[in-house]
Amino acid sequence: MSQKVAVLGTGKIGEALLSGMIRAGWAPDDLLVTARRPERAEELRTRHGVTPVTNIEAAKTADTLILTVKPQDMGTLLDELAPHVPADRLVISGAAGIPTSFFEERLAAGTPVVRVMTNTPALVDEAMSVISAGSHATEQHLAHAEEIFGGVGKTLRVPESQQDACTALSGSGPAYFFYLVEAMTDAGILLGLPRDKAHDLIVQSAIGAAVMLRDSGEHPVKLRENVTSPAGTTINAIRELENHGVRAALIAALEAARDRSRELASGKKD
């Protein structure tokens, strides 16, 4: 890998990308980072051998800029970068809700922009990263983004019009599973199990179910039916989930997440 890549605003996800790229064969000397705090930048240098720079230095020297700051900070960052980003730089945004047009309007005409929504399983190389092209991004730019984010999990290309839905499903998705595990752990305690045993039972069940979903090729309805015996324990539990509207609540929750992603794109903060 000879291209220089800069990660701007290197938090947990940005650091996960760096470590994934290094494992995939990128030379640390080709990786630049920026961080708000000098001690954080030095920590990244010590841990990964990458080079801390300023945002402006990154804009001038890197072939690819990966912007991982919070959505509310993106406008300020672009104001700083815009005078220094040549039109041939690839800009990759990891900010939820912000369309590629937001970047294209603020950067030099023709600047290629790729929008990526990843999620926190990037920290364990099991991310789902959803990739969309801006109006000037080519197949080569998309492939480059896949190469970078493929180091921390799977990638999927979608039209940008589907990004808000993907944010609701996948970007926020891990939180829903953590919430479900939290509730099931509380239920296990209510049923008389110690917390640690309830946790272990649920986590391994979740891992096993996820592997079956991924590897079996079966529809989730079929997999559920295989566990659901007539007049058994599972069907009684499913009946209570339906009685309490869990399916409808999940659909409403995902719609709310999608709507909030759209609000972020429009600049609404509250």
Q: Which residues of 26-47 are buried (b: 16+ CB within 10 A; e: fewer)?
A: beeebbbbbbeeeebbeebeee
Interior CA angle at 154 toward 152 and 157, to 5°?
Answer: 125
Distance CA 263, CA 71 (A): 11
Nearest to 75 by CA among 92, 61, 57, 95: 95
pLDDT at 65: 98
Question: Strand 113-117 to strand 127-133: parallel, antiparallel, or no bridges (unpaired)?
Answer: antiparallel
Q: pLDDT tens across 162-192, in order?
A: 999 999 999 999 999 999 999 999 999 999 9
Residue at token pair 């294209």 = 104
Alpha carbon 148 to its chain centroid, in Å, reads 13
Distance CA 173, CA 169 (A): 5
- Per-residue pLDDT 10s for the chain (270 aa) are 468 999 999 999 999 999 999 998 999 999 999 998 999 999 999 999 999 999 999 999 999 999 999 888 999 999 999 999 999 999 999 988 899 999 999 999 999 999 999 999 999 999 999 999 999 999 999 999 999 999 999 999 999 999 999 999 999 999 999 999 999 999 999 999 999 999 999 999 999 999 999 999 999 999 999 999 999 999 999 999 999 999 999 999 999 999 998 887 776 666
pLDDT at 265: 72
